[in-house]
């Protein structure tokens, strides 16, 4: 695989594991780390209201902490993708994320920012504000204009496999939401085929292969058992010839396996990250950046002989 260059940064795949830190600019993140409260905690001064308010301040603080802890990419999202979450329109999503992206880009001009969205309008506004990558949980299938936006801005795209269906969601108060009854003829073959369908969309828009990253979509339209199998067979996704991003962090398959709520899943996440790296993950998308950056470094020392 060819290295990926974004600005002054080059990602040499297979050399080491890269860490993506999650910034949820939402009030309803499944993991409890959303940076927007359900309602304002207190009146904000007009200057903060105009510039994104509390989300902007908290987002910048978390970005600062993530970068100091070893994050290579900051993934900023303004719409929760947890099973059963309520969608938001493009205007609300932009209101949440654009001030945060501007703030981070101004304070950390060398930081690599990814916009986590499936909407072309949001992606374009984010790329103008300082983002450099597009992370689409619907792999260019939700908005036909998104591939063209990424192409125009020369932005790499992360294409995630997704078979989410609200009717297949099971909710437990302590453990959160999980998918049940997701049907596959052949789990790995189906995921590979559908990822390559999205690769074809990207190619048709003119996005070169070296600017495509694949994500098997852990937690999206898969049962607990299917998520476990997919991580353990991640090498079969990587043989498609693209770098692979793995996002197991705090997800319900860990909670259901260990019988633990989201705020107690750091060890389960660490196990999934370590096995994922062993199976070929190039990027890990995580909430607990400091801990998982250490897990990645240690696993690289074992697997890639990189210290």
- Residue 256's alpha-carbon distances to 19, 107, 178, 246, 292, in angstroms, are 25, 39, 8, 19, 21
Catalytic annotation on 203? no
**Which one of the listed residues 238, 251, 265, 279 is annotated catalytic?**
251
285 is catalytic: yes
SS3 sequence, the chain?
A: CCCEEECCEEECCCCCCEEEEEEECCCCCCCCCCCCCCCCCCCCCHHHHHCCHHHHHHHHHHHHHHHHHCCCEEEEECCCCCCCCCCCCHHHHHHHHHHHHHHHHHHCCCCCEEEECCCHHHHHHHHHHCCCEEEECCCCCCCCCHHHHHHHCCCCEEEECCCCCHHHEEEECCCEEEECCCCCCCHHHHHHHHHHHHHHHHHHCCCCHHHEEEECCCCCCCCHHHHHHHHHCCHHHHCCCCCEEECCCCCHHHHHHHCCCHHHCHHHHHHHHHHHHHCCCCEEEECCHHHHHHHHHHHHHHHCCCC
Known catalytic residues?
251, 285
């Amino acid at each position: 695989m060819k290295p990926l260059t974004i600005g002054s940064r080059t990602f040499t795949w297979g050399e080491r594991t890269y860490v993506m830190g999650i910034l949820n600019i939402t009030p309803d993140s499944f993991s409890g780390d959303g940076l927007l409260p359900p309602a304002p905690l207190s009146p904000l001064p007009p200057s903060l209201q105009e510039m994104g308010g509390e989300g902007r301040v908290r987002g910048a603080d978390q970005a600062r902490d993530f970068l100091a802890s070893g994050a290579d990419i900051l993934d900023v999202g303004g719409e929760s993708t947890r099973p059963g979450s309520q969608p938001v329109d493009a205007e609300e999503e932009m209101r949440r994320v654009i001030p945060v992206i501007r703030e981070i880009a101004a304070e950390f001009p060398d930081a690599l920012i990814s916009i986590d969205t499936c909407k072309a309008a949001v992606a374009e506004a984010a790329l103008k504000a300082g983002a450099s990558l597009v992370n689409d949980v619907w792999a260019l299938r939700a908005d036909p204009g998104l591939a063209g936006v990424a192409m125009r801005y020369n932005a790499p795209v992360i294409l995630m496999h997704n078979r989410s269906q609200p009717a297949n969601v099971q909710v437990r108060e302590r453990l959160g939401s999980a998918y049940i009854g997701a049907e596959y003829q052949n789990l790995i073959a189906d995921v590979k085929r559908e990822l390559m369908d999205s690769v074809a969309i990207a190619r048709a828009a003119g996005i070169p292969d070296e600017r495509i990253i694949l994500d098997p979509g852990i937690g999206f339209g898969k049962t607990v058992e299917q998520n476990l199998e997919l991580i353990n067979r991640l090498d079969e996704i990587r043989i498609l010839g693209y770098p692979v991003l793995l996002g197991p962090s705090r997800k319900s398959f860990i909670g259901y396996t260990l019988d633990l709520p989201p705020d107690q899943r750091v060890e389960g996440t660490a196990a999934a990250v370590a096995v994922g790296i062993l199976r070929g993950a190039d990027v890990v998308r995580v909430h607990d950046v400091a801990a998982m950056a250490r897990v990645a470094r240690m696993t690289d020392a074992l697997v890639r002989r990189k210290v």
